[in-house]
Amino acid sequence: MSWQTYVDNQICAQVSCKLAVIAGLADGQIWAKFEKDVSQPVSQQELKAIADALKDNPNSFQEHGIHLAGEKYFCLQADNTLIRGRKGSSALCIVATNTCLLCAATTDGFPPGQLNTVVEKLGDYLRANNY
């Protein structure tokens, strides 16, 4: 299965997304993505900064927020493998696996719990398969 298929069928088919990205954990290189009504395209630099902060200092998200696709999300929770955030009524979930970063943001009003379940389960599946 291609990485784009994971974005399309495992995330976007179950979540009303404005953004879904799978990127390399080491360099932030985008492997697959979906974007709709975002301020600006997701950049490799943003993803690398998120991956580095997850590894080195996840508490920095509490202080500075989460910057993705030109938007700033308020951090609700952050540790070395998981970030949850909000911007208005849009939810953000970011999961780090062994080799990749999964990021998804919902359209306004979509239930954040459903987003978290979908992205975190995909992260567990990829970890179990050494990704």
Is 111 contained in some domain? no
The answer to whether residue 54 is domain-embedded is: yes
Convert the pLDDT of each residue in 41-88 to its tens digit.
999 999 999 999 999 999 999 999 999 999 999 999 999 999 999 999
> d(Cα 82, Cα 54) in Å, to the nearest integer?
8
Query: pTM here?
Result: 0.95
Residue partners of 25: CB distance under 8 A and separation at least 6: 51, 96, 97, 98, 99, 100, 101
What is the tally of structural domains in the chain? 1
Asked whether residue 110 is assigned to any structural domain, the reply reads: no
What is the per-residue pLDDT for 13?
A: 96
Q: What is the CATH number of the domain that holds 53?
A: 3.30.450.30
Residue range 76-120, pLDDT digits in tens? 999 999 999 999 999 999 999 999 999 999 999 999 999 999 999
Q: Six-digit token pair at 60?
A: 């920095």
Alpha helices in 42-111 (DSSP H): 44-56, 60-64
